[in-house]
């Protein structure tokens, strides 16, 4: 076997080891259950598939690295040089890019998201469907000024453009707010919850309840509620305010958002961020910035153990 064949076999062997390394890393996450720290359960089938494919491809690469595999590859008459080109340090850098995440995946401890992420990404009160922020208000004011100027410049053109815009907006709103399945799902669920003496927020219905409180808040004002989450407090909160929050994940940790409910107590409570609590109280309403948000008037709470996974997942999709 000449040097060219030896070099090609060596690189095939390294690639096989890398592919098997990724397969073993994903298998370790699956066996320990720590995979739930990074992806939603709906994505598990893709992980199973990827693990199997990486393992098979890794084995095939190792077979290619053997003498027999090299001899079979030499029979290829495509006229292409299959040897790996480039200086040694470039090859080393490329392989290091793939090997590093495998090593770190096995060495570094798995870590859950916490309030530091909430501080960086911000909290969506309720489901985040309804949001009117100071920035949005400023944009609206600017837009009003522009419309006034447009009217003064050419009233007829302004009215024609306004009619076209209203038609486009009506289609957009109809498509979003009158989606039959969406409305029916949350209307029926809201009716079921209203019949209960207390709204019990669980991991399974967390995001559903947050959405219902956005869409039907008036119907739930005065209703008892009980929920579990971690404590988060912004710097501008009053001493008697804190948020009970959970991380919502649709696909993977990259799209995880913090969904929280404002809680107000009769007196200041000394609770550290990331403390997991079970709170009970009465649903009311408040404002935060320019947003109208649900607020729970605290009637009781207890410190509880953190759940195995802090994440909650959506159940409804179009």
Banded pLDDT at 271 (limits 50, 70, 90): confident
pLDDT at 118: 67
**Centroid of chain to Cα 197:** 32
Specify whether the backbone of 280 is left (phi greater than 0), alpha (psi in -120 to 50) or beta.
beta
Pull the structure tokens for residue 75: 């029979």
pLDDT at 187: 83
Banded pLDDT at 59 (limits 50, 70, 90): very high
Pull the structure tokens for residue 212: 């219902």
Sign of the torsion angle spanned by Cα atoms 72, 76, 81, 84: negative
Higher pLDDT, 66 or 67: 66
Pull the structure tokens for residue 26: 């994903």
Higher pLDDT, 151 or 103: 103
CA pair distance 212, 171, nearest whole angstrom = 23
Q: Give mean pLDDT, residues 218-230.
A: 91
* Residue 144 pLDDT greater than 80, yes or no: no
pLDDT at 168: 46
Sign of the torsion angle spanned by Cα atoms 69, 71, 75, 76: positive
* Residue 213 pLDDT greater than 70, yes or no: yes
**Centroid of chain to Cα 88:** 40
* Residue 203 pLDDT greater than 90, yes or no: no
Non-local (6+) Cβ contacts of 139 within 8 A are none
Range list of β-strands (E), the chain: 123-125, 198-200, 224-232, 241-248, 257-264, 276-288, 291-303, 311-312
Point out which residues pair with 258 in neighbouring strands: 123, 247
Pull the structure tokens for residue 37: 């720290």
pLDDT at 83: 60
Q: Give mean pLDDT, residues 144-149.
A: 47
CA pair distance 11, 120, nearest whole angstrom = 42
* Residue 178 pLDDT greater than 60, yes or no: no
Of the chain, the percentage scoring pLDDT greater than 70 comes to: 70
pLDDT at 111: 72
CA pair distance 82, 74, nearest whole angstrom = 9
pLDDT at 24: 95
* Residue 19 pLDDT greater than 90, yes or no: yes
CA pair distance 32, 173, nearest whole angstrom = 45
Q: Given the DSSP bridges, would you call strands 291-303 and 276-288 parallel, antiparallel or unpaired? A: antiparallel
Reported as a single tens digit per residue, the pLDDT across 123-136 is: 777 655 444 333 33
Least confident of 91-95, 203-207, 211-215, 267-271: 267-271
For the domain made up of 186-312, the CATH class stated in words is: mainly beta
């Amino acid at each position: 076997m000449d040097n060219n064949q030896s070099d090609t076999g060596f690189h095939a062997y390294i690639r096989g080891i890398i592919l098997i390394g990724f397969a073993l890393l994903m298998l370790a996450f699956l066996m320990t259950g720590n995979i739930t720290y990074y992806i939603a359960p709906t994505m598990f089938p893709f992980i199973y598939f990827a693990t199997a494919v990486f393992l098979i491809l890794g084995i095939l690469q190792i077979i290619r690295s053997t003498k027999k595999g090299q001899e079979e590859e030499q029979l290829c008459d495509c006229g292409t040089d299959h040897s790996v080109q480039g200086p040694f340090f470039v090859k080393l850098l490329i392989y290091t890019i793939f090997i590093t995440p495998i090593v770190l995946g096995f060495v570094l401890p798995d870590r859950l998201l916490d309030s530091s992420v909430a501080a960086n990404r911000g909290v969506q009160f309720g489901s985040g469907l309804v949001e009117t922020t100071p920035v949005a208000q400023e944009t609206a004011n600017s837009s009003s000024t522009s419309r006034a100027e447009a009217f003064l410049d050419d009233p007829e053109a302004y009215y024609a453009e306004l009619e076209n815009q209203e038609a486009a907006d009506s289609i957009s709103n109809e498509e979003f707010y009158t989606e039959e399945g969406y409305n029916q799902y949350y209307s029926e669920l809201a009716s079921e919850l209203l019949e209960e003496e207390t709204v019990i927020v669980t991991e399974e219905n967390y995001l559903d309840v947050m959405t219902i409180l956005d869409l039907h808040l008036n119907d739930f004002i005065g209703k008892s509620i009980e929920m579990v989450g971690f404590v988060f407090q912004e710097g501008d909160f009053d001493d008697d305010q804190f948020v009970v929050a959970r991380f919502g994940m649709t696909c993977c940790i990259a799209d995880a958002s913090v969904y929280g409910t404002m809680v107000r107590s009769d007196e200041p409570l000394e609770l550290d961020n990331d403390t997991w609590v079970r709170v009970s109280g009465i649903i009311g309403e408040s404002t935060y910035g320019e947003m109208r948000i649900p607020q729970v008037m605290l009637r009781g709470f207890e410190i509880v153990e953190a759940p195995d996974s802090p994440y909650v997942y959506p159940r409804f999709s179009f």
